[in-house]
Amino acid sequence: MPTPRAATAPTLATALVAAAVLAGCGGADATATAAVATGETDLAAAGCPETVVIQTDWNPEAEHGGLYQMLGEDPAVDAGAKSVSGPLVDAAGEGTGVTLEVRSGGPAIGFQTVQSQMYTDDEITLGYANTDEQVRLSTEQPTVAVVAPLEVNPQMIMWDPATYPDVQTIADLGQTDATVLYFEGAAYMSYLTGAGILQEDQVDGSYDGSPASFVAAQGANAQQGFASSEPYIYPNDIEAWGRPVTYELLDDAGYPIYASTLSVREEALEDLSGCLTELVPVIQQAQVDYVQDPAAVNELILELVEEYDTGWVYSEGVAEFSVEQQLELGLVGNGPDETLGNFDLARVQEVMDIVAPIYTEQGTPMREGLTPEDLVTNEFIDTSIGLPAS
């Protein structure tokens, strides 16, 4: 779950204000324009629900841009429900016969896990899932990931390069007396300490998303974050800090989960198979299109942040930086082949091998006999869709 951003959202764009008014923007009765299949993809005929509901794990942000890319013109915003809906469109902007509804997570769902929300509300078609959480919840709330919009998890540990000029990696940080702030219960921290990368006595699970402790420590602390946000936010948007931070991705430290995959409840996979055969390639292409030309979707994301008014804000600068980082760091990218969104089963097995003993020790062992094929599938992936070679 991304951490809060301290930034300022811009003024609403005139065109979207007009659309919001026409749609009853912000009210509980906001409804989307009727979805009509006008292009080559007919998701209604493929068996998709009338409204494809996608549950995200946080407030609207650039890491979710591929989802918002699929919204047609004049989306309807329900500020109370923290959701936006409109015709689900293909790469040509043509209707697919169904409506898309994107729901916010985090504070909008009481900070529950997305899987918990999916098992509470069966109207949710697809929800975000991380591989490690899928393992942890494999017995009680099993999900199957069908596409990975992000190739690399953006999560990182960051520190002050002025305080720790010789630290280049998280392992280097483990050789210092730095306190590392993180959200209590995160499996990755059990991995980092269990592997001896960080020391048990230097980690502090009191992090709540606020920059206050990091800033107050004047560089002595390190902290979890996201490589697609905090490296911009701390020097640019947090006046009390106002200088660079450096970091290492958890992926580079040996924790290679797939983050924010789109998943379905295990029990729903068979019934949705026809829908997913047509829908997953649309999702793949939308992610490619978004990172290549993000301006319009970023504008919508900023609109939604302002309309939802959760107390969390997001700037144009952060959004632009996020997309740049997604491409530069390979957070969005093709797998080991030329395809965006598919899964490497060996990588999933590696994650299972890492987290299974952690969860067993914590009293939530993974399901007996669990395999990578239980957690992810490439069945619906269009292997011809990927980012072009640079």
Residue 359: predicted pLDDT? 93
How many Cβ atoms sit within 10 Å of the Cβ of residue 107? Answer: 15
Residue 1: predicted pLDDT? 41
User: Which CATH number goes with the domain that contains 195?
Assistant: 3.40.190.10
Residue 34: predicted pLDDT? 55
Amino acid at residue number 92: A
Same structural domain, 213 and 290: no
Please report whether residue 9 resides in a domain: no
Q: What whole-number distance in Å separates Cα of residue 350 and Cα of residue 228?
A: 25
pLDDT beneath 50: ranges in the chain: 1-33
Same structural domain, 146 and 160: no
Same structural domain, 52 and 124: yes
Same structural domain, 142 and 184: no
Same structural domain, 202 and 135: no
Residue 333: predicted pLDDT? 96
Cβ density class 212-240: b for 16+ within 10 Å, e for less:
eebbebebebbbbbbbbbbbbbbebbbee
Please report whether residue 89 resides in a domain: yes
Asked whether 186 and 223 are in contact (CB, 8 A), the reply is no
Tell which of 249, 278, 304 closes a domain: 249
- Report which of 56, 55, 50, 108 is spatially closest to residue 79, judged by C-alpha positions: 108
Residue 208: predicted pLDDT? 84
**DSSP 8-state symbol, 63:** G
How many independent structural domains does the chain possess?
2
Domain span including residue 161: 155-249
Q: What whole-number distance in Å separates Cα of residue 60 and Cα of residue 308?
A: 9
- Report which of 9, 65, 55, 8 is spatially closest to residue 322, judged by C-alpha positions: 65
Same structural domain, 22 and 127: yes
Residue 91: predicted pLDDT? 95
Residue 43: predicted pLDDT? 97
Residue 304: predicted pLDDT? 97
Residue 11: predicted pLDDT? 30
**DSSP 8-state symbol, 109:** G
Tell which of 200, 227, 249 closes a domain: 249
Same structural domain, 262 and 128: yes
What beta strand segments (E) does the chain contain?
Answer: 51-55, 76-78, 83-89, 95-103, 126-129, 143-147, 155-159, 179-181, 203-204, 221-226, 246-249, 261-265
Q: What whole-number distance in Å separates Cα of residue 181 and Cα of residue 224?
A: 6
Tokens (6 digits) for 30: 């906001």
Same structural domain, 145 and 115: yes
Same structural domain, 277 and 346: yes
Same structural domain, 265 and 116: yes
pTM of the full structure: 0.89
